[in-house]
């Protein structure tokens, strides 16, 4: 992901997933922070549909 347009599109797509409360995508960190009570597989599928390969990173 290299541009703000891609970042914005990914944030919008992830925010439409049931249970997602907040999404923040960082171009510099190449990371999406997603908060809420959602199905993890829905996030993975969405990210792949957008043309990116997700890598899971869990934080508390």
CA distance 13 to 60: 24
Look at residue 57 in the predicted model and tell me its pLDDT: 80
Q: Which two tokens stand for residue 36?
A: 């809420």
Calculate the CA dihedral of residues 55, 8, 48, 52 and round it to 10 degrees.
Answer: -60
pLDDT tens sequence across 14-24: 999 999 999 99
Name the region of 54 (left: φ>0; alpha: ψ -120 to 50; beta: rest).
beta
pTM: 0.86
Is pLDDT of 60 > 70?
Answer: no
Q: For the chain, list the domains and their CATH numbers.
A: 4-49 (3.30.70.100)
């Amino acid at each position: 992901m290299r541009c703000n347009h891609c970042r914005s599109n990914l944030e919008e797509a992830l925010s439409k997933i049931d249970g997602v409360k907040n999404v923040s995508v960082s171009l510099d960190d190449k990371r999406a922070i997603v908060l809420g009570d959602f199905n993890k597989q829905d996030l993975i599928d969405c990210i792949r549909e957008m043309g990116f390969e997700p890598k899971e990173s869990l934080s508390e």
